[in-house]
Structure 1
Amino acid sequence: MELKTRKRLSLLVLVVLMPLYVVAAVTMMNWLDTRFGRQPILIEVLVYLALGVLWALPFRRVFRGVGKGE
C-alpha cells in the first residue's frame, strides 16, 4: 500500500472510526452493567484494556510506517 494511501486511511480511522468504536465500547459496558450489575473494578479495567488494544489489531498495517518520511 502506498504511503499517501496509508496516511489517508489512518486519518479516516482516527477521526471517524475511533470515536464510533469508543461509543460502541462504552455502550457495551453500560449494557453489561445493566444486565449483570456492576463488576469489580479489576474486571472493568481488564475489559477496557482489552477493548483498547482490540481496536488497533485490524489496523496495524495501515499505521505501520505512517510516521516515517517518503
Structure 2
Amino acid sequence: MALSYKARRRWALVILLVGLPIYIVVAIKVISLFERPSILLELAIYVGLGILWALPFRAIFKGVGQQDPDEDAK
C-alpha cells in the first residue's frame, strides 16, 4: 500500500529529526573504531555513508517539498 502525501511528509520529518542524528552518531562511532585515515579519505567515507543512508528513504522523500497533489484546487 502506498503512503499518502501527508504520511510521507510525517515520516520524512521523523526520519530527519530522529533517524539522521542517530545515524550520524553511529557513523562517527564506527569510524572512531579504526585509526584515523587521511582527511580526504575520511571525507569520502562520510559522503559515501551519507549516500547509503539516503538510498532506502528516497521513496519517502520523493516529492515531499512539492504541493500536495491530493489537495483540491481552490
Counterpart of 1:51, as a letter, is L
Larger Rg: 2
TM-score, normalising length: structure 1: 0.87
Counterpart of 1:7, as a letter, is R
Q: Give the % identical residues.
A: 42
Partner residue in 1 for 2:7: 5
Runs of 4 or more above 6 Å deviation: none
Residue deviations 1:22-45 (CA, integer Å, cap 9, x gap): 00001011112xxxx221222111
Determine which structure has the larger helix proportion and give its number: 1
Partner residue in 1 for 2:48: 50
Where do 5+ consecutive residues of structure 1 fail to align? none
What displacement does 1:8 show?
0.5
How many residue pairs end up in the alignment?
66
SS in 2 for 1:56: helix
Q: Does residue 21 in structure 1 map to residue 19 in structure 2?
A: no
* Aligned-pair Cα RMSD in Å: 0.9
Counterpart of 1:50, as a letter, is G
Counterpart of 1:38, as a letter, is R
Aligned equivalents of 1:62 and 1:38: distance in 2? 34
TM-score, normalising length: structure 2: 0.82
Partner residue in 2 for 1:31: 33
Aligned equivalents of 2:17 and 2:58: distance in 1? 16
Counterpart of 2:21, as a letter, is P
